[in-house]
């Protein structure tokens, strides 16, 4: 029996030796791997696995496959990231084909979905959780291709002019491929993966940043056109319970909602309806926005704001309405996430822009940009492992 793993889904993985095969991948495209530590970065450049460095302890990449031996993975490696990158000579994005990953043994089948213009994609991750290994369908990538992919995992490219050319698979009749011309080093202050920063930061898909923690973090959803979006938040506590802050309920029950968590640490500032235009000569509608106020007390593990457009609002894609989210600590640091990777599907009603993680030395914000399935109004779920699973919660009430 095949285990079909949807985007964002995960499953326990008890097979120490496995082969991941990527099918429907363009012939010139490459499969890569990164062995990353708990912080999400490679320890050294040797943990970047590609055709010029095809074998490291525990992982070998060859053509469109990756072989994993979990018994050989160093103990300080938290995740094995399997990715694909388009060849520089091919102008088509990887989404031109429906990528597929099969994992043997285990009969796991993974369809890589939700892609638009990405030229580099993280396909799957094999990661440790509570001492056990798990497998996750990531299906997320970067339009910028190879430079953004490697920098996001802690490898820097000194010259971005034509980085993907060096990743073309060597031709069988060609001379031996020389050492890469890239200057690979740990990212510095100019790296795409931002580390701890201050000021105004605009994140791109797959990136993360840490800002200073203040007693009042504001998450704001904005939409510049004449429609009605809503924001609500999933709040995961360290004692393993989760609460939802919203202005509306679920499953047709208008009363099963709360405007604040039980401890009042996370609060909704109130529902804002459709932006209106008025007068005999209609003016452009005012910008609409809703906010969540967050006090990251030690009891809180993470907060996931969700942007929602009820089916009753009528058709309207996240891309068309240019929906964005900003996380502001009120101390001069502001992180913005937009829906630049959204499709034009008019029946996608929920978006998770990112996750806000409460850490001892600051607030870590990860760009997720996950979307519900078309015509699905179920809420997402934030698990104890801080994995967001779309379309797994109760159905939002009619608004």
Residue 397: CB atoms within 10 Å:
18
Instruction: Give every CB contact of residue 147 below 8 A, 6+ residues apart in sequence.
Output: 157, 160, 163, 192
Q: What is the pLDDT, as a whole number, of residue 286?
A: 52
Q: What is the pLDDT, as a whole number, of residue 227?
A: 62
Domain boundaries in the chain?
3-185, 195-389
Residue 2: CB atoms within 10 Å:
9
Phi, psi of 152 (to 5 degrees): -60, -20
Low-confidence ranges of the chain (pLDDT < 50): 1-2, 158-192, 273-285, 399
Q: What is the pLDDT, as a whole number, of residue 317?
A: 60
Q: Does domain 3-185 have CATH number 3.40.50.1220?
A: no
Q: What is the pLDDT, as a whole number, of residue 198?
A: 84
Which residues on neighbouring strands pair with residue 65, listed in sequence order? 21, 62
pTM exceeding 0.75: no
Strand ranges inside 224-361, DSSP E:
230-237, 242-245, 266-268, 288-294, 300-308, 324-328, 334-338, 350-359
Q: What is the pLDDT, as a whole number, of residue 119?
A: 87
Q: What is the pLDDT, as a whole number, of residue 266?
A: 94
CA-to-CA separations, 20 to 46, 79, 126, 196, 259, in angstroms, rounded: 21, 15, 11, 34, 45
Q: What is the pLDDT, as a whole number, of residue 52?
A: 82
3-185 and 195-389 have identical folds? yes
Q: What is the pLDDT, as a whole number, of residue 228?
A: 66
CATH superfamily of 195-389: sav2460 like domains (2.60.60.30)
Q: Answer yes or no: are the C-beta atoms of 99 and 123 closer than 8 Å.
A: yes
Cα dihedral 354, 361, 77, 24, rounded to 10, equals: 20
Q: What is the pLDDT, as a whole number, of residue 345?
A: 73
**Tokens for 91?**
């102008």
Q: What is the pLDDT, as a whole number, of residue 290?
A: 82
């Amino acid at each position: 029996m095949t285990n079909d793993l949807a985007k964002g889904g995960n499953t326990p993985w008890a097979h120490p030796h496995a082969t991941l095969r990527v099918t429907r991948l363009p012939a010139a495209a490459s499969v890569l791997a990164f062995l990353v530590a708990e912080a999400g970065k490679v320890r050294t450049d040797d943990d970047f696995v590609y055709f010029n460095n095809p074998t490291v302890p525990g992982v070998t990449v060859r053509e469109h496959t990756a072989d994993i031996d979990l018994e050989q993975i160093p103990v300080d490696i938290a995740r094995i990231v399997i990715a694909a990158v388009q060849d520089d000579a091919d102008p088509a994005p990887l989404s031109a084909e429906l990528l597929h990953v099969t994992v043997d043994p285990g009969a796991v089948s993974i369809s890589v979905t939700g892609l638009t213009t990405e030229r580099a994609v993280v396909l799957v991750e094999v990661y440790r959780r509570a001492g056990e290994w798990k497998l996750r369908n990531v299906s997320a990538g970067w339009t910028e291709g190879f430079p953004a992919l490697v920098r996001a995992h802690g490898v820097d490219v000194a010259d971005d002019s034509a980085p993907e050319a060096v990743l073309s698979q060597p031709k069988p009749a060609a001379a031996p491929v020389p050492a890469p011309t890239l200057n690979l080093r740990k990212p510095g202050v100019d790296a795409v993966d931002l580390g701890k920063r201050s000021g105004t930061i605009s994140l791109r898909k797959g990136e993360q940043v840490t800002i200073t923690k203040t007693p009042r973090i504001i998450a704001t959803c904005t939409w510049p056109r004449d429609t009605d979006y809503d924001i609500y938040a999933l709040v995961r506590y360290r004692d393993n319970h989760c609460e939802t802050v919203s202005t509306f309920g679920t499953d047709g029950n208008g009363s099963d909602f709360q405007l604040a968590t039980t401890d009042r640490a996370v609060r909704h500032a109130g529902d804002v309806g459709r932006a209106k235009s008025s007068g005999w000569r209609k003016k452009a509608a005012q910008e609409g926005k809703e906010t969540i106020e967050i006090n990251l007390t030690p009891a809180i593990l993470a907060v996931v704001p969700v942007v929602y457009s009820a089916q009753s609002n009528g058709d309207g894609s996240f891309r068309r309405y240019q929906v964005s989210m900003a996380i502001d600590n009120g101390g001069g640091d502001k992180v913005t996430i937009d829906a630049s990777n959204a499709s034009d599907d008019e029946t996608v009603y929920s978006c998770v822009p990112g996750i806000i993680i409460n850490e001892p030395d600051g607030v870590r914000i990860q760009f997720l940009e996950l979307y519900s399935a078309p015509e699905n109004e179920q809420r997402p779920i934030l698990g104890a492992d801080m994995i967001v699973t779309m379309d797994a919660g109760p159905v939002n009430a009619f608004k």
